Amino acid sequence: MGPSDLIRADVGPDFGAVGGAGELRVIVGALLTFGLIVAVLMLIVSATTWAIASNSGSWHTAQKAKSGCFVAIGGATLTGGALAWANWLLDIGAHL
């Protein structure tokens, strides 16, 4: 047993200490799935509206639909990255 063994400590979140931690993980997973589904549906509707509005010459509606596409892509990116970001933060916290 050397000095490095005395300094090293495994510190991390104890999800077992919280009552209902398993249910909380299921709820968060369901919310992330729901968020991704909504973002994809929003992207489909916005892209369809953009195509129809551009074809019919309605430039104002086409611009709003284009903005909707960008918002949907951003929402899907943020929702999909939320779990990876949280896992990264938990991993960094365990190494501090």
- What DSSP element (H or E) covers 58? none
The domain locations on the chain are 39-96
Query: Is the separation of the CB atoms in 45 and 71 below 8 Å?
Result: no
pLDDT tens digits for 29-84?
A: 888 889 999 999 999 999 999 999 999 999 999 999 999 999 999 999 998 888 78
pLDDT tens digits for 15-44?
A: 666 666 677 777 878 888 899 999 999 999
- pLDDT at 85 (0 to 100): 81
> How long a stretch of residues is the chain?
96
